[in-house]
A and B are shown apart, each in its own frame.
Chain A
Amino acid sequence: QKEVEQNSGPLSVPEGAIASLNCTYSDRGSQSFFWYRQYSGKSPELIMFIYSNGDKEDGRFTAQLNKASQYVSLLIRDSQPSDSATYLCAVKPGTYKYIFGTGTRLKVLA
């Protein structure tokens, strides 16, 4: 079992729809969780981080964390073609340790 698992996609959603990206992790000691967006040929860019169970909203983005189920998700409301990218889930089980998933490719269809 991979330490951080994401569906590689592509996940295709129509413009204006909600995109739902999911991530599961294996280390129950993980304290911090991150979502990064990576456009093709570019570096990862932080979108959101979440530390506590529940939802955290920032504009069109909502991160959801359920530590009991070892599950973290990212919702993108009113998806735009510019949201088309690969989304990386990262988990931080230790002070200097980050574990990245392989990413989910999102395609927003105009």
Chain B
Amino acid sequence: NAGVTQTPKFQVLKTGQSMTLQCAQDMNHNSMYWYRQDPGMGLRLIYYSASEGTTDKGEVPNGYNVSRLNKREFSLRLESAAPSQTSVYFCATQKGGGNTGELFFGEGSRLTVL
């Protein structure tokens, strides 16, 4: 039972390159999220997927795209990486729904854009 698995764990890109961060969960949760975490900024929501087949923008969506491939998988794509996207990215799933429901996080993907 792996929970929430993210790949890759570390990545270095050059400005303008593209890449996809993968996230897979075996918790059978409907909702999945992508956050970025920067020093002094806290966790900021990039995109979320309430359920399979739906995606919505969060607080900082510019420069990112997402795909909810199926119930288990939610990927985050950087089409043309910029140094401002250097960050730690966390995928999370939500247990339950409505106004309750805890988030469970993957181990994170540390991205550096040169």
Q: A residues near B, CB below 8 A?
A: 4, 31-32, 34, 42-46, 49, 51, 88, 90, 92, 94-98, 100-103
Contact = CB atoms under 8 A, between A and B. Distances in A.
10 contacts: A4-B42, A32-B99, A32-B101, A34-B102, A42-B107, A42-B108, A43-B108, A46-B103, A92-B100, A95-B99
Contacts of B105: 43-45
B63 interface: no
Interface of B: 31, 33, 40-43, 45, 48, 50, 56, 90, 94, 97-108
A46 B102 contact: yes
A26 B56 CA distance: 24
B48 to A, nearest CB: 5
Nearest to B41: A102
Contact residues of A: prevailing secondary structure: strand
A98 B103 contact: yes
